[in-house]
Amino acid sequence: MYRRDFIKVSAAAAAAAALSPALVSCGGSAGGKKKAGKGGPLKMSYYPYVVELQHTFTISGFSRDTTTVLLVEIEYDGVTGYGEAALPPYMVGQTLETASAFLDKVDLSQFSDPFEMDEILGYVDSLAEGMSCPKCGIDIALHDLVGKLLDKPLYKIWGYNGNNTPDTSFTIGMDTKEVIIQKTNEAEPYNILKVKLGSTEAEDKMIVETIREVTDKPIVVDANQGWKDKFYALDMICWLKEKGVKFVEQPMPKTIYDDMAWVTERSPLPTIADESCQRLVDIRKLYGVFTGINIKLLKCTGLREAHRMVETARGLGMMLMIGCTTETSCAVSAMAQLAPVVDFADLDGNLLISNDCFSGMRIVNGKITLNDLPGIGVTKL
């Protein structure tokens, strides 16, 4: 069905999403045995950290060498959950100052049961419009805490098979031909390459053709809203199909729905919404506009909502992708808990930095590999 048919199913999909239990199984038989303890109020703390990229990272619109993140900790009964709030420049209005100010308003000491996740995270979400990044940091830390209290990884609590994870793509940003060759060679351990496009036609084609001089590995493309005209976007997608590209992410500006639906209907490749897809409420207007969606924790406020987005998109028959930004293994490992139920994954943000302060999920022969550590599966270094 295309966009015109969506009105017939959107109400049912919204109802299904509202019933999605997220981590409700934590309190039941599927979640495992809850650890006993003295309890007490939740205690939250946070501190800034600057992740340093191995290469200057360039996409359509800007470049950067670092990303500031806020690392969040929630402690309960002697157990600490870890979370992360990355603050990349494209999350407009969410800076170290504004995110810190938001976290300063959060009072988790009013809660004495971390398993009341809907109530806790509903309170956090209600404190301000937007601010999805710091909300995400709290959400990840709370999920990590609850998983540790149950002594189970989140993916097992959710009933997923940890062996059913996809390969991750490895991202190659825009650069000169010489550096593109270098980056492609460095990506040898990975089976799928994600290529950032969205500049001029000449530069975009140079990047793809340069990679094809080095390797015949599958490529996925992210244009980051860089193609403004629907006819040009379709022409580029047809050309990319000939070059062995598997799908195209966010080819056009995020709010141009009619033109994007026109492209998707004619495209020989799947189209994936990224900037167009922020939170659960966005899915209804993207059905029929894109083939699938890319879910990022820092955009949707964390795992609670990401899990509901997965269930809603699956119910509509949309393709599912999970992604990240340049983050530590804390946030990337949290996102990886959903990897067993998605079609594509771009979880390489921790691989692009030189000062990771966590260890967690690993990439083995290009494949996302989950461990059996409880919660989000990370160890603080």
Structural domains present in the chain? 24-155 (3.30.390.10), 160-380 (3.20.20.120)
How big is the CA angle at 246 (ends 310 and 158), to the nearest 5 degrees? 20
pLDDT for position 2 = 44
Helix (H) or strand (E) holding 257: helix 257-266
- What is the C-alpha separation between 330 and 359, in angstroms, rounded? 8
Average model confidence (pLDDT) across the chain? 90
Q: Are 55 and 196 in contact (CB under 8 A)?
A: no
pLDDT digits (tens, 9 = 90+) for 143-177: 999 999 999 999 999 999 999 999 999 999 899 99
- What is the C-alpha separation between 91 and 98, in angstroms, rounded? 12
Residue type, 303: L
Q: Are 302 and 125 in contact (CB under 8 A)?
A: no
- What is the C-alpha separation between 223 and 60, in angstroms, rounded? 7
Q: Are 82 and 378 in contact (CB under 8 A)?
A: yes
- What is the C-alpha separation between 67 and 51, in angstroms, rounded? 5
SS3 275: coil
Q: Is the pLDDT of residue 197 over 50?
A: yes
- What is the C-alpha separation between 336 and 346, in angstroms, rounded? 10
pLDDT digits (tens, 9 = 90+) for 46-76: 999 999 998 887 765 567 899 999 999 999 9
Q: Is the pLDDT of residue 22 over 60?
A: no
pLDDT for position 55 = 81
Q: Is the pLDDT of residue 294 over 70?
A: yes
Residue 360 DSSP symbol? -
pTM attached to this predicted model = 0.88
SS3 163: coil
- What is the C-alpha separation between 23 and 116, in angstroms, rounded? 10
Q: Is the pLDDT of residue 9 over 70?
A: no
